[in-house]
């Protein structure tokens, strides 16, 4: 997976939020292979602020109770994987339900 700097993420989020360019336009403008990361950055920033975009360098282990609560929430709410990740403040790649 390609890693992007915080400055780059913030720049793209701001460009899109300011309605200067679409998500697809941003991915083409900056030569990104797909638009998924930009979509995630924008929704994470809107839900939790720009500081949420800072990449966490450490591995985090989740308790069994926490994992079960994620599963229960998933069963009760029909929302996207990204929205679940934002709700639980975890990476979208960790939500594979």
Q: Is the pTM of this model over 0.75?
A: no
Helix (H, G, I), strand (E, B) or coil at 55: coil
pLDDT in tens, 34-54: 888 888 888 888 877 777 776
**How large a percentage of the chain has pLDDT more than 90?**
7
Q: pLDDT band for position 31 (50/70/90)?
A: very high
Domain ranges of the chain: 6-53, 64-91
C-alpha 60/C-alpha 12 separation (Å) is 27
Mean of the per-residue pLDDT values of the chain: 80
β strands within 4-88, DSSP E: none
* 3, 50, 73 from 55: Cα distances, Å: 9, 11, 25
**Phi, psi (degrees; rounded to nearest 5) at 6:** -60, -40
Q: With contact defined as beta carbons under 8 Å apart, do 85 and 91 qualify?
A: yes
Q: Is the pLDDT of residue 69 over 60?
A: yes
């Amino acid at each position: 997976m390609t890693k992007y700097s915080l400055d780059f993420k913030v720049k793209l989020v701001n460009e899109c939020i300011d309605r200067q360019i679409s998500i697809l336009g941003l991915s083409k403008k900056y030569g990104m292979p797909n638009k998924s990361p930009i979509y995630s950055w924008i929704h994470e920033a809107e839900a939790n602020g720009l500081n949420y975009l800072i990449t966490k360098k450490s591995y985090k282990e989740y308790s069994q109770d926490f994992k079960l609560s994620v599963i229960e929430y998933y069963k009760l709410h029909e929302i996207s994987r990204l929205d679940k990740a934002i709700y639980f403040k975890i990476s979208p790649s960790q939500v594979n339900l």
